[in-house]
């Protein structure tokens, strides 16, 4: 699996988790839901944004390395 396809898989999983979390919030509206969202869901989404950016950067760097080393297919 390539770096970008791994990034896409991560994006899908985070999107699914976020969707399910929002659906749970439709019926679970107490302080514990808000607390868990603040402690886990929001930081996870922020970490995902940083990871996605890093994956994009690494993919660009690896493409350049392949090109410069003559490893392109």
52's CB contacts (< 8 A; 6+ apart) are 7, 10, 11
Dist. CA 4–CA 60, nearest whole Å? 10
> Average pLDDT of the chain?
92
- 47-61 pLDDT, tens digit per residue, is 999 999 999 999 999
pTM as predicted = 0.76
pLDDT at 31: 94
> For residue 73, is pLDDT > 70?
no
Query: Which residue in this structure is represented by tokens 């950016």?
Result: 53
Ordered by start, the domain boundaries in the chain are 3-69
pLDDT at 2: 84
CB 41 within 8 A of CB 21: yes
CB 37 within 8 A of CB 21: yes
Token readout for 61 is: 């760097």
pLDDT at 1: 61
């Amino acid at each position: 699996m390539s770096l970008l396809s791994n990034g896409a898989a991560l994006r899908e999983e985070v999107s699914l988790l976020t969707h399910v979390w929002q659906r749970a919030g439709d019926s679970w509206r107490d302080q514990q839901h808000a607390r868990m969202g603040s402690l886990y869901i929001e930081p996870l989404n922020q970490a995902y944004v940083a990871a996605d950016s890093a994956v994009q950067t690494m993919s660009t760097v690896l493409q350049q390395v392949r090109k410069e080393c003559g490893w392109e297919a």
